[in-house]
Amino acid sequence: MAMKVVLAILLCFVACESLVSAQESERRRFRFTTEAQQCKLDRIQVRPPSRRIESEGGITELWDEADEEFQCAGVGAIRNLIRPNSLSLPKFHNAPMLVYIEQGEGFMGMNYPGCAETYEAQSTQSSRSTRRMGRRIGAGRSGEDQHQKVRRVRRGDMIVIPAGTVQWCYNDGGEDLIAVAFMDLNNDDNQLDLRMRGSFLAGGIPSESRREIRGSKSDDLVNIFNGFDQEFLAEAYNIPTELARRMKEERSSGLIVRCDEEMSFLTPELEEEELSESPFSRRGEDSNGLEETICTARVQHNMNTQREADLFSREAGRVNILNQLKLPILRFIGMSAEKGHLFPNAQHNLHWSMTDHRLVYVIEGEAEIQISDDYGNQVFNERVSRGNMFVIPQFYPALARAGQEGFEWVTFKTSNQPMKSPVAGYTSFFRALPLQLLEQSFQITTAEAQQLKQTRRQHTFLFPPSSSSRSRSRSRRA
Amino acid sequence: MAMKVVLAILLCFVACESLVSAQESERRRFRFTTEAQQCKLDRIQVRPPSRRIESEGGITELWDEADEEFQCAGVGAIRNLIRPNSLSLPKFHNAPMLVYIEQGEGFMGMNYPGCAETYEAQSTQSSRSTRRMGRRIGAGRSGEDQHQKVRRVRRGDMIVIPAGTVQWCYNDGGEDLIAVAFMDLNNDDNQLDLRMRGSFLAGGIPSESRREIRGSKSDDLVNIFNGFDQEFLAEAYNIPTELARRMKEERSSGLIVRCDEEMSFLTPELEEEELSESPFSRRGEDSNGLEETICTARVQHNMNTQREADLFSREAGRVNILNQLKLPILRFIGMSAEKGHLFPNAQHNLHWSMTDHRLVYVIEGEAEIQISDDYGNQVFNERVSRGNMFVIPQFYPALARAGQEGFEWVTFKTSNQPMKSPVAGYTSFFRALPLQLLEQSFQITTAEAQQLKQTRRQHTFLFPPSSSSRSRSRSRRA
Amino acid sequence: MAMKVVLAILLCFVACESLVSAQESERRRFRFTTEAQQCKLDRIQVRPPSRRIESEGGITELWDEADEEFQCAGVGAIRNLIRPNSLSLPKFHNAPMLVYIEQGEGFMGMNYPGCAETYEAQSTQSSRSTRRMGRRIGAGRSGEDQHQKVRRVRRGDMIVIPAGTVQWCYNDGGEDLIAVAFMDLNNDDNQLDLRMRGSFLAGGIPSESRREIRGSKSDDLVNIFNGFDQEFLAEAYNIPTELARRMKEERSSGLIVRCDEEMSFLTPELEEEELSESPFSRRGEDSNGLEETICTARVQHNMNTQREADLFSREAGRVNILNQLKLPILRFIGMSAEKGHLFPNAQHNLHWSMTDHRLVYVIEGEAEIQISDDYGNQVFNERVSRGNMFVIPQFYPALARAGQEGFEWVTFKTSNQPMKSPVAGYTSFFRALPLQLLEQSFQITTAEAQQLKQTRRQHTFLFPPSSSSRSRSRSRRA
């Protein structure tokens, strides 16, 4: 009982926080009014990307933000595959993003205007960086460079990118780097429309190299310098016209380019980085919110760390939650995320989100998922698998059962402190309700009502496989 | 003069608060752009409910949120009549609500996920609850139950229900319980569209039993379990398939059911409840905001308490205001309310709301009400009476005069700290303006300007009947 | 280097602040979804006013808020020309406004409901006010008046007017007073639609006197009293019906009236007012936010004070920024402004706004301005001059070069703590980027990359004329 109270208090805290902190959220929603704009989701679908842009150094896939569910939720999604020794060119977007590194590792740069160039690279720093020196002919003090922080990213990392912030990503690893990005278009930081807009600061794609999966727009996508007259740029920057022309140039190599030679960036040792992710340093951050300035804000969190799991069951699986209490910058971005792993045949409790829309991306395995609308209509009943993406709208109840190989997913949420309401189990509606009320509501006996109150009583969201599913799975295997 | 300054300071405080606290408000509005969406309110109308759903245990009436003014204001309304010994089944809505108990009394439950089951019901508790014991056959420890807080509600209570929160209401009194609910659809807590959505956790209505007042949609409205496969549910809950089937069942008894037997819930003594409403305990709440957690937040306030009136005139009437300073949870909900009583022939000052749309519901009596738009067109000129509901849009000036029997109303507002700007009287535009400016603006003499400045000088919003209206009323009676 | 760090820290502070303080902003945006509503800005145009209303005492010009860019940005604009000894009649608007006094001087009144009438005018006060006394026949205590604060405004002042607040303006100077007002229609304080709505409390315009520049609506615009029945008003105010009729009267003199005689209002000596604008008193305000109440909030700031310039270059020009740190009330209004002066042929750095839409109004001189969209299309390439107004949407990069006579402008912004991201110069993207990345992104040599990193290195936003433009200008003059 004591434990129960403690858990209850902890859970209350989360619930309470979600209201208290709402005041600090950047989350601001618009509402639809005309027929065309309503969230009339008779059927929710697993959506494949609608556009695919092949570049020299990788592939960019875009989900169509005009799809019914995406539009209702006001979200967008992009998947980038960056080949080894390739660079996703610098760009900024019109809405805040959460980027999940699905595979590989590399460097990621994010540039805030006005932050100091706090990384000093010197020629003696590393053998790799000296290798490049040969090319630095003509530079004043050859071999020296100062720039803003460059981050090391790896599989499992979630990175927060504020709206309008320039970012780039370089794959220095041996395998393809795959990054899945979630944009919250209906965020207050985006005062434009609900279109995904990426503004490139270099590169560009010739129209013929873009392959439309569904027939949509095919404008030229070139870098922003193309919008300015060459000599105007040259004068503004006090540079030769030829260099200004070079900047504007649409590169046939596209949005992701293969680099002439391997790049290496100064980063602190990996061990130190790990250290800074210890619970102690994080606690320090909580007390300050943004530490000193946005320039030093933590924007990165690894979602794969098992010892940091927020829900954990030896029989059912685990869930890592990333919210504003873990990563304070989320407080100002109005988003959060969750990464989960269900063991084979385990289930995720029937529940609805009280606070946000969710975009689910399947990383591994399979699951059967059912979603209901407010009228009790089944709007989704699919077996989802790797690479699938779908929306679960706010207030829509959902239920999931992992397949034979288990189920691993990442969920992006449009709230910085989300709250879920489960139907059964430890913190559920069934347990909260007086017994008599269950009896009268469902016209059942006291015994049945007690069965509902007691079912899965020790579990919250993750249910171990039931005996029936185990036998079913056995029979299937047979 | 000193009193004037004190009042001015108090009023300033309110004004100031409304700006200061706006930062904590959940109020976030979208704007319309296309022709179709504009607030083109050439005429505001008193709106009757557009749908009526008859259930075994009562009647549910819904106002059409697509009506011009409702759509402009982004609000919806529902009126429930619950017969004695009947239960309005558990459900949740897609937007925060304010519920006003117009008549009767009963129990209301609201379930937050994660809050502890802090109410322990035992068989020895009350004679009423023992009566039920006979039926509790098969229960493990018969006669014991733990559940979340259940609230006693009665006539005059205003209850706050956050979006997505499960609520139910049981009438244990002798007369019909009537509850009028106001939904703020355009609230940031609702990320879906502007439709009213009620998701039932039990019950449901067969399509034939729904009577459409105006020809609108007639989908089946059943409980959310209907959206899931029976065996999927049975497995998830580890319950017999038969019980899962029972839960999904559409009950012909509808959304409000008559109970087999009288229910009774454990509640603290009424006296203690009254005590907790004393000004002292309330002052304590102010200092903390949400007290400890959302689980113990106060969500209920009686609007009929004369000694708590915020505006009070022996000749004109009184107004009770409910804002975030009285009920801190409103700070996170972005709504507020007001209940007023005008004496026969008394008037409510000409004024406009600087901060919010208002939905007015007439409880008793009659009034003549006129509303103007920004172009000086009269958009409303009606004699409203009991049960009428109408919208006063933000910035639209309005003026009211009570009928022969007086006028009693409740106003729901889409702001957590509303501010009104009166034209005449103690805190008005007329008094704030320099004399010369009144002269030049209206081309009137200094004497007339002074008359405008002095008129109703001791009153703020409630004006006693003028002599002319008294005589008029006499002549009518004659 | 030390200075660089200090500047970087200061700039970081601004960046950081803009995130931190966002939580206190009133800025809440809606998003468009249907085709019709998207910000499809293939071409941005310099927009002239679309309506012109001539009144006896001046001219009112309105920009069409339905124009593509205005609609995308959710803004509106009005320009009032008030002739000497004329009065812009009391009115309120449906959204917060920033008003810039382009020319002249006068008195401005803003009336908050509930604020005390803290200005006592007595007959002995000034010779001017005694002059008026002759007319005050019939007044109880002739020659005495109490009213709310009246503000002295002059060229260069920016005044903040909250939504729904009554304001009026009287020109007591010798030249025409010109005021340019910017309305943030898509502000959360406006819960109505995106139309500009001005509700007049006196005056009005007969339809024939309104001249439509483009054929739009021609409803009668009269004062709000017109929306109420005469006798209803008389009774409510306890005034003669004749006086009520006079108030409703549509004055053929329009929205700005010529006064019968000169008016004068009590204001503290100008020297004292200047004093209160010293950095010391302002610092005090910062520590409190709203000082005591909204009644005493500072709402006025002169943008022409050279010693307060935030960006300053002897060769290029200067910029005065007005944000919530200077004028705390902006924190609750969600807007800010900037006034800049570029010297002849100087340039404004290529940059984009990360936080807001901007409405630019040209005060003096000329400039060539180019704007690009996210696809690298040039959407604006104009030589703008005095009186021109245009929108720069959020995230759209822009570049400017002053003409031969320099360029003076004022920018209104839809964020209370805006942040700009420059491409080149001291705090720029180029400098933040590692050298190698510039090489790979633009396919340039190390030397060229270093040139980009070093260009304009000592400048942030204002660039002195380059040698080429100087010679060009010489050749043009020749």
Lowest pLDDT segment from B371-380, C49-58, C117-126, C217-226: C117-126
Using alpha carbons, select from C75, C65, C70, C80 the residue that is nearest to residue C45: C70
- Give bridge partners of residue A361 from the DSSP assignment: A389, A410
Model pLDDT for residues A319-361, shown as the tens digit of each residue: 999 998 899 899 889 999 999 999 999 999 999 999 999 999 9
Among the partner residues C15, C448, C466, nearest to A243 by beta-carbon distance: C448
> Residue C277: phi, psi to the nearest 5?
-95, 5
pLDDT tens for chain B, residues 1 to 478:
444 443 443 333 333 333 333 333 333 334 333 333 468 888 999 999 999 999 999 999 999 998 999 999 999 999 999 999 999 999 999 999 999 999 999 999 998 887 877 777 754 333 343 334 333 333 334 467 888 888 999 999 999 999 999 999 999 999 999 999 999 999 999 999 889 999 999 988 765 544 444 444 445 678 999 999 999 999 988 899 999 998 887 667 789 999 988 888 876 655 444 433 333 333 333 433 333 467 888 899 999 988 889 999 999 999 999 998 899 899 889 999 999 999 999 999 999 999 999 999 999 999 999 999 998 999 999 999 999 999 999 999 999 999 999 999 999 999 988 999 998 888 888 888 999 999 999 999 999 999 998 888 888 889 999 766 555 554 544 4
User: Average pLDDT for residues C23-34, to the nearest whole number?
Assistant: 35
pLDDT surpassing 60 at residue C292:
no
Give me C412's structure tokens. Answer: 């209104």
Please give the C-alpha separations between residue A294 and each of A269, A322, C88, C190, C397, in angstroms, as whole numbers.
Answer: 23, 19, 45, 31, 23
**Contact list, B469 vs chain C (CB under 8 Å):** 235
**Contact list, C37 vs chain A (CB under 8 Å):** 193
Give me C97's structure tokens. Answer: 């406004």
The DSSP annotation for C358-369 comes to: EEEEEEEEEEEE
Q: Which positions ≥6 away from C40 have C-beta within 8 Å? A: C68
Inter-chain residue contact B135 with A443, CB threshold 8 Å: no
Among the partner residues C23, C140, C243, nearest to B444 by beta-carbon distance: C243
pLDDT surpassing 60 at residue C477:
no
Among the partner residues A27, A419, A444, nearest to B113 by beta-carbon distance: A419
Ramachandran category for residue C81: left, alpha or beta (phi over 0 → left; psi -120 to 50 → alpha): beta
Q: What Rg value do the Cα atoms of chain C yield, rounded?
A: 25
Helix (H) or strand (E) holding A361: strand A358-372
Among the partner residues A39, A419, A433, nearest to B192 by beta-carbon distance: A39
> How many Å apart are CA C291 and CA C283, to the nearest integer?
11
Instruction: Quickly tell me which residue has 């989320």 as its tokens.
Output: A330
Q: Is C383 on the interface with B (CB under 8 A)?
A: no
Judge residue C230's burial from the number of C-beta atoms within 10 Å of its C-beta, 0-12 exposed, 13-18 middle, 19 or more buried. Answer: middle
**Chain C, nearest residue to A34 by Cα:** C34
Q: List the subunits that have 3+ CB pairs under 8 angstroms with B.
A: A, C
Inter-chain residue contact C246 with B444, CB threshold 8 Å: yes
Q: Contact, B386 vs B364, CB < 8 A?
A: yes
**Contact list, B142 vs chain A (CB under 8 Å):** 446
Q: Is C282 on the interface with B (CB under 8 A)?
A: no
pLDDT at C269: 56
Q: Contact, C372 vs C397, CB < 8 A?
A: yes
**Contact list, C187 vs chain A (CB under 8 Å):** none
How close does chain B come to A467, measured CA to CA in Å?
Answer: 9
Using alpha carbons, select from A191, A151, A196, A327 the residue that is nearest to residue C419: A191
pLDDT at C219: 54
Inter-chain residue contact A194 with C33, CB threshold 8 Å: yes
Residue numbers of B between 6 and 25 with CB closer than 8 Å to C: 8-9, 11-16, 19-20, 22-23
> Residue B307: phi, psi to the nearest 5?
-70, -10
> How many Å apart are CA B156 and CA B274, to the nearest integer?
14
> Long-range contacts of range C454-457, CB-CB < 8 Å, 24 or more positions apart?
C455/A237, C455/A238, C455/A239, C455/C424, C455/C425, C455/C430, C456/A236, C456/A237, C456/A238, C456/C349, C456/C424, C456/C425, C456/C426, C457/C425, C457/C426, C457/C431
Q: Contact, A105 vs A153, CB < 8 A?
A: yes
**Chain C, nearest residue to B69 by Cα:** C192
Length in residues, chain B: 478
> How many Å apart are CA A1 and CA A5, to the nearest integer?
6
Inter-chain residue contact C31 with B29, CB threshold 8 Å: no
Q: What is the mean pLDDT of chain A?
A: 80
Using alpha carbons, select from A183, A188, A165 the residue that is nearest to residue A114: A165
Q: Which positions ≥6 away from C82 have C-beta within 8 Å? A: C57, C58, C88, C104, C106, C169, C170, C171, C176, C177, C178, C179, C256
CA dihedral sign, ordered A113, A117, A121, A122: positive
Instruction: Quickly tell me which residue has 């046939």 as its tokens.
Output: A252
How close does chain C come to B338, measured CA to CA in Å?
Answer: 18
pLDDT surpassing 90 at residue C383:
yes
> How many Å apart are CA C215 and CA A335, to the nearest integer?
45
Q: Contact, A381 vs A343, CB < 8 A?
A: no
Reduced to 3 states (helix: H, G, I; strand: E, B; else coil), residue A211 is strand
pLDDT surpassing 80 at residue C237:
yes
Higher-confidence residue: C1 or B259? B259
ipTM: 0.83
> How many Å apart are CA C184 and CA C95, to the nearest integer?
6
How close does chain A come to C472, measured CA to CA in Å?
Answer: 11
User: Average pLDDT for residues C179-188, to the nearest whole number?
Assistant: 95
Q: Contact, C452 vs C438, CB < 8 A?
A: yes
Using alpha carbons, select from B7, B235, B189 the residue that is nearest to residue B93: B189
> How many Å apart are CA C300 and CA A370, to the nearest integer?
58
Distance of CA B437 to the CA centre of its chain: 40
pLDDT tens for chain A, residues 1 to 478:
444 443 443 333 333 333 333 333 333 333 333 333 468 888 999 999 999 999 999 999 999 999 999 999 999 999 999 999 999 999 999 999 999 999 999 999 998 887 877 777 754 333 343 334 333 333 334 457 888 888 999 999 999 999 999 999 999 999 999 999 999 999 999 999 889 999 999 988 765 544 444 444 445 678 999 999 999 999 988 899 999 998 887 667 789 999 988 888 876 655 444 433 333 333 333 433 333 467 888 899 999 988 889 999 999 999 999 998 899 899 889 999 999 999 999 999 999 999 999 999 999 999 999 999 998 999 999 999 999 999 999 999 999 999 999 999 999 999 988 999 998 888 888 888 999 999 999 989 999 999 998 888 888 899 999 765 555 554 444 4
- Give bridge partners of residue B154 from the DSSP assignment: B105
pLDDT at C91: 95
Q: Contact, C421 vs C314, CB < 8 A?
A: no
pLDDT at A260: 87
- Provide, rounded to the nearest whole percent, the portion of chain C with pLDDT above 70: 76
Inter-chain residue contact C138 with B435, CB threshold 8 Å: no
pLDDT surpassing 80 at residue C211:
no
User: DSSP letter at A140?
Assistant: T
